[in-house]
Amino acid sequence: MKESPLFWPAFLKKDVLFVLDETLIPEKVKYIQVKTPSQAVKVIKTMKTRAFGQFLVVLSTFLLVLKDKNIKSDKALVKKFFDVAHALNKSRPTFPFSEVTGMILGWAQKAQKENKDLRLSLQKSIEGFLFGIRGRRLERVQKLADTIKKHKVILTHCNVSGELAMAAQICKSAGKNISFFATETRPYFQGSRLTAWELKKAGVPVTLVADNAVATLMRDKIIDAVVVGSDRSCANGDFANKIGTLQIAVLAKEFDVPFYVLTQPSNKVKNGGDIPIEIRDENELLKVRGKRFAPKGVKGFYPGFDVVPHKFITKAIAINVN
């Protein structure tokens, strides 16, 4: 099975964090070299990486700090960890980076209290956690394959970081050929640039549609299921995902199409109403390929995410937690 570069888009090599520049795909597969925490915050803020890639960057940034030889004492290291956590947490409001950074800060304080070799202990914890995530994501890919294998044509929105392409390959090797429709996912075109690209690369048939064509695909029974990812989950099952997911969920209910979501369960937020929604720069909407498309003087409004109430979910395909 081919692993999509989007499945694991950031990794440490010696003292450098390599981050896949998703804004260059499909034209180029190129990695940005991140050497400092502030560079890490920048690749997140500017959406050079997104979704799962951001979490890898968040986790790996602490590994970068551990390699910083200018930090001499344990005290200075813990202080640096707190500073880095703070900067990462506030980089994008909708993402629960604090859940990850909080966990790491907990490890740091515990190891310090227990008088362990702080650097070594933290490195082991973070690397072990990353290794665990990898395994649990591969498990989720299998669960996803088990869920979608009974369908023929699936609609997806935005990009679920490699998992859909892998699940489709599992189905294919079991003789179940599933094809996909991907929304282009304005304004960032993740569906066009990333999802269509990785599905095509994996040898899985994929057709692009405008975000406006979703109702037609459902009404005319061209698709028989929807799969989306989630950026954040709530205790009650509500979840936040890329703008446009809510309307697809509402339409799936109206047209009686199964609606599946890949989740990372969390109880930190009670329900969807409590998730803050990031409003991004209007220029990301008004400009296409860096050139302004909208008429002069017209404003744009670009909420980056929306929240889907749990009542619209047919089944959540959850990552195993703990």
Distance CA 148, CA 104 (A): 35
Q: Do residues 23 and 217 make contact, with C-beta atoms less than 8 angstroms apart?
A: no
Q: Do residues 139 and 313 make contact, with C-beta atoms less than 8 angstroms apart?
A: no
Q: Could you tell me the smallest distance in angstroms from the CB atom of residue 244 to a copy of itself?
A: 3
Considering only residues 31 through 50, tell me which ones interact with a copy of itself, judged by CB under 8 A. Answer: none
Contact between 22 and a copy of itself (CB under 8 A)? Answer: no
CB within 8 A of 283, min separation 6: which ones? Answer: 292, 300
Contact between 276 and a copy of itself (CB under 8 A)? Answer: no
The catalytic residue among 231, 256, 274, 306 is 231
Specify the residue, 175 or 290, whose C-beta has the smaller distance to a copy of itself.
290
Distance CA 51, CA 201 (A): 20
Q: Quick one: how far is CA 18 from the chain centroid?
A: 17
Q: Is 6 helix (H, G, I), strand (E, B) or coil?
A: coil
Distance CA 242, CA 257 (A): 20
Considering only residues 169 through 188, tell me which ones interact with a copy of itself, judged by CB under 8 A. Answer: 181, 183-187
Contact between 208 and a copy of itself (CB under 8 A)? Answer: yes
Q: Is 231 a catalytic residue?
A: yes
Q: Which stretch binds a copy of itself (CB under 8 A): 36-44, 82-90, 249-257, 314-322?
A: 249-257
Contact between 295 and a copy of itself (CB under 8 A)? Answer: yes
Contact between 26 and a copy of itself (CB under 8 A)? Answer: yes
Specify the residue, 62 or 188, whose C-beta has the smaller distance to a copy of itself.
188
Contact between 189 and a copy of itself (CB under 8 A)? Answer: yes
Contact between 159 and a copy of itself (CB under 8 A)? Answer: no
Strand pairing category for 239-242 and 232-233:
antiparallel
Specify the residue, 147 or 230, whose C-beta has the smaller distance to a copy of itself.
230
Distances (CA, A) of 221 to 106, 175, 212, 256, 314: 50, 23, 16, 10, 17
Residue 299: how many other CB atoms lie within 10 Å:
8
Catalytically active residues are: 231
Which chain residues interact with a copy of itself by CB under 8 A?
Answer: 26, 181, 183-187, 189, 192-193, 196-197, 200, 206-216, 219, 242-244, 246-247, 250-251, 254, 277, 285-286, 288-289, 291, 293-303, 306
